[in-house]
Structures are given as C-alpha cells and as structure tokens.
Amino acid sequence: MKKPLTIWAVGGDLRQARLARLLQADEHLVHIYGLENAPELPRPCETGLDGVARADCVVLPVPVRGEGGFLNAPLCPRRLELSRILDALPPKGVVCAGQVDGALRAMAQERGLALHDYLAREELAVANAVPTVEGALQLAMEALPVTLHGSRTLVLGYGRLGRLLSHRLAALGAAVSVSARSWADLAWIEAYGYTGLFTDGLDGHLAGYDLVVNTIPAPVLGEERLKQLSPSCLVLDLASRPGGVDRAAAGQLGVKVVWALALPGRTAPETAARAIRDAVYHILQEQGV
Ligand code: NAP
C-alpha cells in the first residue's frame, strides 16, 4: 500500500473518531466529516464534502445506515442524508463501509460506486470476538453475585464467539457446557473438556446454571426453555437483532436477561478501531491501492 493516502472518515461513533486518529498516526492525509461532537479528534471536521471526490479511500461507519434515510452519525449535530453522501463519493476511490444491506448496495451501484463491506470480512469478525467476549465477561462479573470461578455456565452456539467464550470461561475456572448442532462441533467441545449438548436437545438440561450466554442468531431461548432455568440464572444474549431470547417471556417469568449488543465499540473502541483499520488496509491492498 502506498503512503500517504488521502482518506476520509465520514460519520460514525467513537470507533470512527479513533480510526481517524490511527490513520493519521500512520501518516495518511485524513479528512473527517460528521464527527463534530467526538472528543480528541486529530484535526477539525470538514464543513462540507468538497474534496471527497479526490479521496483514495472513504470509510463509512458501521452500520452505515442510521434511522430513516440518514447516515449513522450520532456524533454529528446535523442529520446527514445518505443519498447526498453517496452522491459526493468518488467513483474511482475505494469506499469501505460496515454492514452493507441490499438497498444500500443498490443505491451505490446506481452511482457507479462499489462498496467494500469491512464488517463482512472474517478477520474483522474474529478480531471483534475478543472485545465482545471480554465485554460479556465484564457484564457477567458485574451482574453475578458469585465468581465465574466455580460457576456453572452454558454457552449456546460454538461459532466464533462461542469458541472464544468457552475458552475464557474455562480459563477463569468456570464449569463450561456448550451447545452446538453439528457432530463435528460436539466432538471439539468434548475434546476441549467441556460438556457438550445438542442445541435441539436442550430441553430438560437447562436447570442448574448460574450463567447462560447465547451466541446463536436464532430464537433459541423461548418461554418453555426459559421456564426451565434456575431462578437466579443470568442470561446474556449476544446475538444481533432480533436476538435469540424471548425477552417478553423472560420479563413475565422474572428471568434476568441482558441483551448486550455492539460490545466491541462500547467496551474497547480503540481495539475495535484498530481492527477496522486493519480490515480497511487489507481491502486497499487487495484493490491494488
Ligand atoms: P458464528 O461464528 O456464525 O456462530 C454462530 C453459532 O450459532 C454457530 O455455532 C452456528 O452453528 C449457530 N447457529 C446459527 N444458527 C443456528 C440455528 N438456527 N440453530 C442452532 N444453531 C445455530 O457467529 P459469531 O461470530 O459467533 O456471532 C454470533 C452472533 O453474535 C451473531 O448474531 C453476531 O452478529 C453477534 N455478535 C454480537 C456482538 C455483540 O457485541 N453482542 C459482537 C459480534 C457478533 P453452525 O456453525 O452449525 O452454523
């Protein structure tokens, strides 16, 4: 990757502000737009998008889309129309964006723009699992009246989050059970010394846990299963919208549920920004910039 590149960071939250700082520390020519209320920006925000058409790279936030047709820009005092932002972007530059949906991709295509979704990259998902799991452990430690050491814990799902979380819980001295839906995952769960359960066969095996953490992006803890949990059990749901836990039923049953979204940005924005920076650099390298 050649240096310095002209890179615009547009909209977003604290992660985007820290990303701008990291890019500037790497000696790129950084322009910032739509982050006026962010603390410790490396330089003042641009007042308009003049000049963005000459950028080598534009980084849009994660998620790109805020409410309605606006850019996700919680640190900007103005509402920024997504269509007007896209109109200003350079067709030849590399436009990186987090969580690109079909409608957004179509809007970009109409303008001859190719959006590179950094959130869809495996290396970013794995890197994000680290602050997510640390954030989940922090929440569990704050909410539980007992230590994780010696606790009986159940992790639902054995993907990126499930694997790392099981490992961290075991390292802290918790008794770890893990549910999965494939024989291969169950073999790995047993190989690591955890107790394996089939996700489809959880009924009748849910009592006795101090902590249940869901990582499955599907409705896995409905009313019937929530009824089987011990009264003092804490449920942490890490699955993205709509989540995996029936929160209305949990409320009626008195089950304590914490739905913990966007943990990397909340618990470790610097780490989250570094992971985005690395993914953006990988995209630029692949695009021959
Ligand atoms: P992942 O690697 O795809 O793992 C998902 C796990 O759920 C896998 O074990 C998968 O099984 C299982 N699964 C998926 N659909 C299922 C179904 N219908 N029934 C039973 N099992 C099912 O995903 P991840 O990276 O661990 O992320 C998990 C969730 O957390 C996602 O919703 C992600 O967006 C979210 N997330 C949240 C945060 C946060 O801050 N809260 C941060 C990062 C990610 P198979 O492998 O057999 O398919």
What does the DSSP assignment read for 65-95?
B-STTBB--TT-SS--BHHHHHHHS-TTSEE
Identify the pLDDT of residue 2: 77
Cα 1 from Cα 155, distance rounded (Å): 41
> For the packed helices 122-143 and 160-171, what is the interaxial angle rounded to 10 degrees?
40
Neighbours of 79 (CB within 10 A): 13
Residue of minimum CA distance from atom 8 in ligand 1: 159
- φ/ψ bin of 40: left (φ > 0), alpha (ψ from -120 to 50), beta (otherwise): left
Which residue's CA is minimally distant from atom 3 of ligand 1? 159
**The two structure tokens encoding residue 212:** 């249940």
Tokens of 1: 């990757």
User: Is residue 199 within 8 Å of 220, Cβ to Cβ?
Assistant: yes
**The token pair that represents 33 in the structure block:** 């737009």
Query: What is the number of the ligand 1 atom nearest to the C-alpha of 238?
Result: 41
Residue of minimum CA distance from atom 42 in ligand 1:
132
In the structure, which protein residues have their CB atom closer than 6 angstroms to any atom of ligand 1? 125, 128, 132, 157-162, 180-182, 199, 215-218, 238-240, 260-264
Token pair recorded at residue 84: 């007007």
Nearest CA to 18 out of 278, 271, 283 is that of: 271
Sole residue written with tokens 């963005």: 52
Query: pLDDT tens track of the chain, all 289 residues?
Result: 777 999 999 999 999 999 999 999 999 999 999 999 999 899 999 999 999 999 999 999 999 999 888 999 999 999 999 999 999 998 888 999 999 999 999 999 999 998 999 999 999 999 999 999 999 999 999 999 999 999 999 999 999 999 999 999 999 999 999 999 999 999 999 999 999 999 999 999 999 999 999 999 999 999 999 999 999 999 999 999 899 999 999 999 999 999 999 899 889 999 999 999 999 999 999 999 9
For residue 161, the ligand 1 atom closest to its alpha carbon is 26
- Spacing, Cα 159 to ligand 1 middle (Å): 6
Minimal-distance CA residue to ligand 1 atom 28: 215
Q: What is the pLDDT of residue 93?
A: 86
Instruction: Give residue 92's pLDDT.
Output: 84
In contact, 11 and 34? CB cutoff 8 Å? yes
pLDDT of residue 62: 93
* Chain centroid offset of residue 230 CA: 30
Atom 17 (ligand 1) nearest CA:
218
Q: Could you tell which of 128, 161, 220 is best to mutate to test the pocket of ligand 1, judged by most ligand atoms within 8 Å of the CB? A: 161
Report pTM.
0.92
Q: Which residue lies with its CA nearest to atom 4 of ligand 1?
A: 159
Q: Which two tokens mark 73?
A: 């820009």
Q: How far is the CA of 276 from the centre of ligand 1 (A)?
A: 20
Q: How many residues are recorded in the chain? A: 289
